[in-house]
Amino acid sequence: MSKLVPPHGGKGLVCMLLEGDALAKEKEKAKGLKQVKISPRVKGDLIMIGTGGFSPLNGFMTKADWKGVLDKFLLSDGTFWPVPVTLDCTAAEEAAIKIGDEIALFDGKEIMATMKVTEKYAMTEADKIYECEKTFMGEGTPTAEDFWKIAKADHPGVQMVMAQGPFNLAGPVKVLSEAEYPTKYAGVYLRPAESRKVFDERGWGEVAALQLRNPMHRSHEYLCKIAVEVCDGVFIHSLVGNLKPGDIPAEVRVKCIDALVQNYFVPKHVVQGGYPLDMRYAGPREALLHATFRQNYGCSRMIIGRDHAGVGDFYGMFEAQDIFNKIPCPTGEGKALLCTPLKIDWTFYCFKCDGMASLRTCPHKKEDRVLLSGTMLRKLLSEGGTLPDHFGRDEVVEILRKYYEGVTDKVEVKLHGAATGK
């Protein structure tokens, strides 16, 4: 009998990925269907729907779901959900599709899925602006005027939404492929059923997830070790989908995690995994999304530190922690979010404490501390700078230095408040 938290939504893992004869038949049928070209973000969302990572979703959202999520954090059936999961299309594609049609979703290389269109709805400029303000606007830009002064140029999530087509298509999907992820990240890429199986085999009940999009530095390591002390184990779950320019590729980050786990953790208390989404950089809302799909992977706790899933200075330092206190708790089996936050203050290395500490435990001054940030790590290494003592483990720094030695087309890494301590 599993001791793990149940999947979100009360329906078990809702997996839309086909296999065997059903997959072969659907692939053949898909060749004759009208095609809609999908973005990398939609591709990642599709795979998560396919594997059950986005349970209870079985496809892309209707207008009622889209609006309910933005206004109330609820799908139209009253189930908690924090961000829109939508499929956009061009005006020409929309005009060629009727309600009830089956279509093929094409990523430029292969047909990723088929979909039965149950609804199509316009996404005007005003609709996109509304989605951006609801999804991406945080305490760092307290008014819409402040937000739009910088968002179109500096927020990758806003840029993605504003570049979407003028229509959305809704309906259930049948997923035909997990793309390159199972082979490129063999041994790391896990479906929710697979992570749950590993946790069950270890007898775990309370599992904490660590979200990673940067290489693991000492602060990440410390967060994991706090989680190991209070839970049965920790799931180091890193994004292997697309990031923004200048971020470090997933295969390099995986090597860094391997080095840390092998040298600085008790392996039986740690599982490493990867998932295929693109970052939305939605800060607090994305923290909620991370907790929602980690529940599907079997995690009951989500580690939330400072500026979780943030970009620039769009969000308050601990806004992603505070939002968990503000979301609805709908009644009905599976409708509420059950993965709760493990809130941890700003962490750093303190020379006077002679170890890792946080603002809750360290009484010393800023000049006594090594402030740890993935952004700062990338900036220093990409510019050939010297890392302060205790910023990262030697094994990890060596992997990153070798990576940067081979990078010829470097992107300027901008620092922001969360990276500098301002």
Q: How far apart are CA 374 and CA 376, in angstroms?
A: 5
User: Can you tell me whether residue 19 is helix, strand or coil?
Assistant: coil
The two structure tokens encoding residue 36: 């809609």
With beta carbons less than 8 A apart as the criterion, state whether 347 and 223 touch: yes
The residue from 58, 168, 214, 296 that is catalytic is: 214
Buried b (16+ CB within 10 A) or exposed e, 390-406: bbbbeebbebbeebbee
Catalytic residue at 191?
A: no
Catalytic residue at 214?
A: yes
Q: How far apart are CA 210 and CA 235, in angstroms?
A: 6
Q: How far apart are CA 43 and CA 26, in angstroms?
A: 18
With beta carbons less than 8 A apart as the criterion, state whether 214 and 375 touch: yes
CA angle 228, 234, 235 (to 5 degrees): 170
φ/ψ (deg, to 5) at 250: -60, -40
Helix (H) or strand (E) holding 222, with range, is helix 218-230
The residue from 41, 191, 213, 294 that is catalytic is: 213
User: Can you tell me whether residue 210 is helix, strand or coil?
Assistant: strand
How many residues can be counted in the chain? Answer: 422
Active centre residues (catalytic): 213-214
